[in-house]
Amino acid sequence: MSQDDFFIGWAKTPEIDRRFMMGAGLSIITGTAAVGIGIAARQRPVGPGTWNMGEVREWRGIATAEPYGMLRTLDLDGTERTALLGCQGKCGVSAKIGALAGKPVVVKGSLIQRGRHTMIAVIDGLDWIREDPEGSVDGLAFPQPEPIMDVSLEGEILDTKCWFGAMRPAQGKTHKSCASLCIRGGLPPAFYVRDMKDQTALMIMTSGGYGHNKDLLPYVADPVAITGRLQRLGDLFLLDAPVSAITRL
C-alpha cells in the first residue's frame, strides 16, 4: 500500500476513497428512489372522492332517521336521489331528526361526493335542519327496501363519510382507527367488495332493517365474509345482515 492510499482522519481523503464513496452514494440514492417509486406504484388509488367544506348551501327534500339519517332530494342533479347525512366530525345525526322525519325539510351543509355516492355534512349547531313550509312530499317519499337476492360476499367494512371523500385513503389497516371512530359515532357503515376483474360495489349495512353501530367494531377494516340479503332502496344498495353473519377471513 502506498503512503497516499493510507487513511488519516484529519488528512485529505485519498482519491480512490473519494471515487468509491461517490459511486456508493449515487447508487444508494438511485436505489432508494427506485424502491420508493416501485412501492408507490403498487398502491391502490386513494379514490376520487371530494369534500369542499367551504361550500355550504341549503338542500331541500324529505328526511328520515331510519336506518340512518338520510335526505331524499332533487337538489343533487335534478333527479330523485338519496344523500346520507352526517355531522362535521365523526358522528351521525339520526337522533336529531326527530319529529321532522317524513316531512319536507331544509338541510344546511356541504357535499361529500364520490361518483353517485353522496353525503351532506351538516353545519354545527341546532339549526342545520328545519321544516320547509313551502316544500312538498309529492313523489319524493322514501321507497320501501326492495329485496334483490341472498348473497355471500367477501370484502371490508368501512365508514361511508371518509370513503365518500372526507378522508383518503379511506380503507385498509391505515384507516382502521378512523373508521371505527366514525361508525362508533353513528355514521353509516358500508360493505365494500372488489371482484377478480377489479369491479367494485358499495352497500350500506343494515340488520333487520335497522342501522348498525358499535356491534360492527370488531370487524371494521379487516377482511371479512358476510352472508345476507341484498336490497335496493331507491338509488342505494343495502346489505341486510346481522353481526352473527360476519366471519373473519
Q: What is the pLDDT of residue 227?
A: 97
Higher-confidence position of 135 and 238: 238
User: Which pLDDT tens digit goes with each residue over 145-179?
Assistant: 999 999 999 999 999 999 999 987 778 888 999 99
Per-residue pLDDT tens over the stretch 122-137: 999 889 999 998 887 7
**List of E strands, the chain:** 50-51, 57-64, 70-73, 81-86, 104-114, 117-122, 129-131, 146-159, 189-194, 200-207, 210-211, 223-233, 236-240, 246-248
CATH architecture of 50-131: Beta Barrel (2.40)
**Is the per-residue pLDDT at 46 higher than 70?**
no
Section 82-93 average pLDDT: 95
Residue 44 in grid coordinates: 391502490
C-alpha distances in angstroms, 33 versus 22, 121, 133, 223? Answer: 17, 40, 62, 32
CA distance 211 to 97: 15
Please check the confidence at residue 13 and state whether its pLDDT lies above 80.
no
248 has pLDDT over 60: yes
Q: How far apart are CA 14 and CA 169, in angstroms?
A: 50
Banded pLDDT at 42 (limits 50, 70, 90): low
pTM: 0.81
CATH tag, 146-248:
2.40.50
